[in-house]
Amino acid sequence: MTVESNFRQYLTDAGVRWSLLDSAAAIDAERRWRDVYGQTFVERSRVKTGAKADNEYRMELSAAYLIVPFTSGVNGLPVHVLHRRLSAYECNGPLVDFSSFHDVELFVSPFDYEWTMVYTHEDHACGGPYFHRREWINADEPGDAPKSRSRRF
């Protein structure tokens, strides 16, 4: 079985109703994601990683969401796209863990992009997966830890 067919079966077995996004919709979804999150992982002041990211993701109640593989790298993340291995999907149903698909670089977000979960080939080995909320972007308040100026990647 291919990665694509395994992925579809995984979604179906988890009770997720899915449909493929056409290429224009997939490109638009990734563009919109990059408009919101494209630079937020560089300093990582508020991003959750590893088990903390998994926990944040499990707490989400979203029943409608997108799964979109990246077509190119993401600043601040270990996303390295060599070739397309997966299609983009529109899903309805429970959120599922995609850690077992560690050879695919992808994001999961609701249609409003209020949060995102990023899976990479380095999940649980070198920091990932990564969870971020739109409200955390530029939302540092008094008492928050200062943003780090160092880069991990």
Higher pLDDT, 153 or 2: 2
Within-domain flag for 130: yes
Residue 74 sits in which domain range?
3-12+23-136
Whether residue 43 is predicted with pLDDT greater than 90 in this model: the reply is: no
pLDDT at 26: 96
pTM, whole model, 2 decimals? 0.85
Residues 6+ apart with CB under 8 A from 50: 124, 127, 128, 129
Report if residue 149 sits inside a domain: no
Please check whether residue 122 lies inside any domain of the structure: yes
pLDDT of 25 strictly over 90: yes
Cα separations in angstroms, 80 against 39, 44, 73, 119: 16, 19, 5, 11
Looking at residue 134, the DSSP 8-state letter turns out to be G
pLDDT given at position 113 = 97
146, part of any domain: no
* Spatial contact of 47 and 139, defined as CB atoms under 8 Å apart: no
In a domain, 51, yes or no: yes
Q: Quick one: pLDDT at residue 142?
A: 39
Backbone angles phi, psi at 79, to 5 degrees: -100, 115
Question: Is the per-residue pLDDT at 57 higher than 80?
Answer: yes
Mean pLDDT of 68-96: 86
Residue 62 has pLDDT above 70, yes or no: yes
Q: What is the pLDDT of residue 124?
A: 63
Query: Does the residue 145 lie in any domain?
Result: no
- On whether residue 92 sits in a domain, the answer given is yes
Q: Given this model, what pLDDT does residue 123 score? A: 62
In a domain, 87, yes or no: yes
Number of domains in the chain: 1
Q: Tell me what the pLDDT averaged over the chain comes to.
A: 84
Contacts of 66 (CB under 8 A, 6+ apart): 21, 29, 88, 89, 90, 91, 107, 108, 109, 110, 111
Q: Is the confidence at residue 48, as pLDDT, over 80?
A: yes
pLDDT of residue 139: 64
State residue 106's pLDDT score: 93
